[in-house]
Amino acid sequence: MDNVRTETIKTADDQQFDAHVALPSAGHGAGVLVIQEVFGVNEYIKDVASRLAGLGYVALAPDVFWRQEPGFSVDSSDQANIEPAVAVANTWDPVVGLSDLEAAFAHLQAMPEVTGPAGVIGFCFGGTQAFRLAQSISPACVVSYYGSGVAGLVGDADKIECPTMLHFGDNDPFLPNEDVETIKAAVADNHHVVVYVHEGGGHAFDNHFAPHFSQPKIAEEAWTETAAFLYMHLGGPGIGA
């Protein structure tokens, strides 16, 4: 069973916010920053952190919306929560928020349990922010799941110099296939970036806590690709022992 705790992260403007941590059984390893969906650090995101810990990584999931509503977390299985969660996300300041994510990544790197390189994974809203971190700080690797804002960021796709994996579905109501084609064209000449478009994949297909999103077969396929990618760029369990 994973060891879990809460870390306190200091920001560039000398404030503090919390992050959920899941540790692997070895107690140490490479690090992965986990960036939430619009629903906050809920049971699904904590489960992602546990899955990563099961792969041997130290997972840190920061409370991204702490400036708007500290501790924000809603049940993604209830479709009535989508609209209020999106409303909170829409009040998030992308400039200050990116600085907070960079602070969270630096905190992860400095944790004594992190004995190897550190990467980033993000889902939905977090998938967009993971892509931004690939452009701003170049982690050891980045995995972005169905980031609906990625198409608006590809003008700077040439800034990505770290291994980056993008997952999309071709049946995503929040991310038109035209946007996916725009992304694919923009990164086609960047050998650091690989794009997977999953046939029949809808939005948030990895979220098995939400029946209206979950697509287990596609999620398993994407997670297998993700795990192999992380092992390739972060190493296996207990790295740095």
Amino acid 18: pLDDT: 98
**Would you place residue 236 in the very low, low, confident or very high pLDDT band (cuts 50, 70, 90)?**
confident
Q: Give the residue-averaged pLDDT of 201-227.
A: 97
Q: Give the residue-averaged pLDDT of 133-139.
A: 95
Amino acid 239: pLDDT: 60
Q: Give the residue-averaged pLDDT of 209-230.
A: 97
Q: Give the residue-averaged pLDDT of 199-219.
A: 97
> How far is C-alpha 239 from the geometric centre of its chain's CA atoms?
21
* Integer Cα distance of 32 and 89 in angstroms: 22
Q: Which two tokens stand for residue 69?
A: 């509503």
| 163-197 tens-digit pLDDT | 999 999 999 999 999 999 999 999 999 999 999 99
Contacts of 192 (CB under 8 A, 6+ apart): 160, 161, 162, 163, 164
Nearest to 138 by CA among 93, 189, 190, 89: 190
Residue 2, CB-side half-sphere exposure with 13 Å CA sphere: 22
**For all residues of the chain together, what is the average pLDDT?**
95
Q: Which residues partner with 177 through β-bridges? A: none
Do 157 and 186 contact (CB within 8 A), yes or no?
yes
| 47-84 tens-digit pLDDT | 999 999 999 999 999 999 999 999 999 999 999 999 99
Percent of residues, the chain, with pLDDT higher than 90: 95
- The torsion angles phi and psi of 17, rounded to 5 degrees, stand at -150, 165
Nearest to 143 by CA among 227, 64, 54, 61: 227
Q: Where are the domains of the chain?
A: 3-234
CA separation (Å) from 120 to 17, 60, 72, 106? 19, 10, 21, 12
* Integer Cα distance of 214 and 18 in angstroms: 28
Q: Is the pLDDT of residue 1 over 50?
A: no
| 81-121 tens-digit pLDDT | 999 999 999 999 999 999 999 999 999 999 999 999 999 99
SS3 192: coil
**Would you place residue 237 in the very low, low, confident or very high pLDDT band (cuts 50, 70, 90)?**
low
Contacts of 154 (CB under 8 A, 6+ apart): 182, 183, 186, 187
**Would you place residue 24 in the very low, low, confident or very high pLDDT band (cuts 50, 70, 90)?**
very high
Q: Is the pLDDT of residue 150 over 90?
A: yes
CA separation (Å) from 117 to 30, 123, 238? 5, 21, 12
Is the overall model pTM greater than 0.85, yes or no? yes
**Would you place residue 9 in the very low, low, confident or very high pLDDT band (cuts 50, 70, 90)?**
very high
Q: Is the pLDDT of residue 2 over 90?
A: no
- The torsion angles phi and psi of 30, rounded to 5 degrees, stand at -65, 165
The residues carrying an active-site annotation are 172, 203
Neighbours of 224 (CB within 10 A): 10
CATH for the stretch 3-234: 3.40.50.1820
Contacts of 64 (CB under 8 A, 6+ apart): 35, 36, 40, 41, 92, 97, 100, 101, 125, 126, 129
Q: Is the pLDDT of residue 238 over 80?
A: no
Q: Give the residue-averaged pLDDT of 24-52.
A: 97
* Integer Cα distance of 215 and 237 in angstroms: 28
